Amino acid sequence: MSLLEIRDLKVTFGGLDALSGLNFHVDEGEIVSVIGPNGAGKTTFFNAISGLVPPTEGEIDFEGESILGLDPSIVTSLGIARTFQNVRLFPNMTVLENVMVAQHCRTNQLLVGALLQTKAFKKEEREIRERAEEVLGFFGHRLIGYRMDQPAFALSYANRRRLEIARAMATQPRMLLLDEPVAGMNPIETIELTEMIGRLRTEWGFTIVVIEHDMKVVRDVSDRVVVLDHGVPIAQGSYDEVSTDPDVIEAYLGRPVEAAS
């Protein structure tokens, strides 16, 4: 059974089909890339899975259970975490706090614990902090040390993208949805992050779905590639298969001009 299974997904916005007839599955431990020209509906796809946008039709099953129409916070607690295309951190919270708050759905101390400073509360706070440092440590020395207490808005662009991923990791998901993780990064950072995505699978055991435009990344990272165009899947397969598929080329580059005669 696939970890994530999507059948006939359709999302309509004001008369326009952002997604239609989408069938998709991800098996545990896979890294699947979703590519397509701009406006193809890729982020809408993520939004539909994570519950931010209600699908018009179709089914979304995670671990065998339907997650269609569930609130985003419940989807996250069930094990799907995501990053945002236009990095949406909590800008005025520190790096550490960003990652600590992401563990909200995995912890349960309430009002009473905080007020009475019970042992259970203190223990949980410690664990939250430790786990946060562990996640941040994945990115080397960039997000730890004095950086942990800096507000998120003070980070450089690349570090913000990394924090975004760290935050998603902290929700202890089974599946990560990464929306253009290397957008705007320079070549060195891109190479590094590509390698990290691989390590996310091998060291941390996440199943990963990646939206990307950078084909080198797609080639180096994916087990499988799905191509969307105008909300419809037009190709699926390995990177080599897909990159030579004429439909895909046409979607990106347009139909070649017919010879004049």
Give the footprint of other proteins on this chain (CB under 8 A).
50, 52, 71-73, 76-77, 81-82, 84, 88, 90-93, 97, 100-107, 109-111, 113-115, 117, 121, 124-125, 128, 142, 147, 150-151, 153-159, 167, 171, 186-189, 191-192
**How far is residue 158's CA from residue 220's CA, in Å, rounded to a whole number?**
20
User: 186 or 244: whose CB is closer to other proteins?
Assistant: 186
Nearer to other proteins, 42 or 82 (CB): 82
**Smallest gap from residue 252 Cβ to other proteins (A):** 27
Name which of 82 and 224 has its Cβ closer to other proteins: 82
Q: How far is the CB of 39 from other proteins (least distance, A)?
A: 17
Question: For strand 57-62 and strand 65-66, is the pairing parallel, antiparallel, or unpaired?
Answer: antiparallel
CB atoms within 10 A of CB 250: 13
Cβ of residue 241: shortest distance to other proteins, in angstroms? 31
Q: Are 62 and 255 in contact (CB under 8 A)?
A: no
Tell me what percent of the chain is helix, strand and coil, each rounded to the nearest 5: 40, 25, 35
Task: Point out which residues pair with 12 in neighbouring strands.
Answer: 17
CB atoms within 10 A of CB 103: 19
Nearer to other proteins, 147 or 201 (CB): 147
Q: How far is the CB of 73 from other proteins (least distance, A)?
A: 5
Contact between 198 and 190 under an 8 Å Cβ cutoff? The reply is no
